[in-house]
Amino acid sequence: MAGFKIRTVTLHIESNASMEDVTSIAMKMLEARDITGSNTGIEVESVRITFPDPESMEKVRERIRGVEDLGGEDLIISIGNIKSSTSWLEEAIVELAREGLYAGIILEEASWEEAKRVSKLLHIMSEEDPSLATHIGVNTLGIPIVTPYYPLSHSPGAGRIATVALTYPNYLKDEYLRNGINGIRRAVLEAGSTALNVLDGIAKLVDAEAAGVDLSIAPWMEESTLGLVELVAGTRMPKPGFALGLQVLNSILAGQASKTRSIGFNEVQLPVAEDLKMKARVSEGETTASTLARLSGACLAGLDLVVVPASIEDVAGLILEVAAYSRSKGKVLGARIIPVEGVEPGDKVYLEKFGETPVIPISP
């Protein structure tokens, strides 16, 4: 048995696909996932479908109606990405989040006006239910990215393609303990190769092009990215020197991504609500949202799935902070922020799928 799992196989739908086509493809994807698991012994944790970016509110509602019977834990769906200046942005985002669907917001301009508009929308959703805000990510570079990771996943629409991602922090940690940095290098390529084999098999069954693997190191609860980074860094977050661990791992991912059929981010991810060790560090009270935002300079998602006290201005500022690093690096960085009214740092907020998540202060 492999020491890792396939996090997701994501199908990016073509623009001319009908809802009947999507329903048929979705069923085939789930069947292909089960067949692959039986044949390889490798668990595929989720199957996802990403639509091309909607051009109207009518198209959003058409997709919401069309996928009503396709949701649930076995199949996760993104309606696509919507630009921050779109007149029907709030209406679309709130409606689809209520239905359990995902979407990305494209921050077209790194300005206070645009950031506040997005911040207000996050506050509106979170006031209704903080879990709704977990379905929405902000693409702070303003350029869509083809990746299996939600909520920023994008479908170019020109054809049907498939992508794959891994859950493997503990696998990489074990390799590091045995063989150091070279062990991680080798393990990343080996896991990526296995993921591509799985992807090729599933893509063939649904008539899709197998576009590539996103080698990003992403956590899931006990599978802690933070634990791996702290081990490599030789120190705990947020102590000085922690960012070196991020830089070392990101360099490995970049190098190995260039040697295989890769796609998407290929960077370290530090989402708070998905990582038990991140939750623990936040609960200790030494880390702030501003600190995590600045880590975006060294990794993909230093500010992801964070619960903060409600503040239109401060949340807008956090979005702009990440946007600054995104534009400096020339790479897409995501921000997923859940602003909650009436909470203090150290309080806990329940998020569907992620459980109790500690509130983090925005700044010292």
pLDDT band at 144 (very low <50, low <70, confident <90, very high): very high
Residue 73 is predicted with a pLDDT of: 62
End-to-end distance of the chain based on CA atoms, in angstroms? 45
Q: What is the pLDDT of residues 195-236, one digit of tens each?
A: 999 999 899 988 999 999 999 999 999 999 999 999 999 999
CA angle, 361 as apex, 228 and 121 as ends, to 5°? 100
Using only C-alpha atoms, the chain has a radius of gyration, in whole angstroms, of: 19
**61: number of CA atoms within 13 Å, CB side?**
5
Sign of the four-CA dihedral 285, 288, 289, 292:
negative
- Tell me the average pLDDT of the chain: 93
Q: What is the pLDDT of residues 269-318, one digit of tens each?
A: 999 999 999 999 999 998 999 999 999 888 777 799 999 999 999 999 99
- The residue written with tokens 């007149």 in the block is 87
pTM: 0.93
Q: Where are the alpha helices (DSSP H) in the chain?
A: 19-40, 57-66, 89-98, 112-128, 130-133, 169-205, 225-233, 242-257, 276-283, 289-294, 312-329
Residue 71 is predicted with a pLDDT of: 53
Q: What is the pLDDT of residues 170-199, one digit of tens each?
A: 999 999 999 999 999 999 999 999 999 999
Q: What is the pLDDT of residues 328-342, one digit of tens each?
A: 989 999 999 999 999
Q: How many CB atoms lie within 10 A of CB 110?
A: 17
- The residue written with tokens 């590091």 in the block is 176
Domains and CATH numbers, the chain: 5-280 (3.20.70.20)
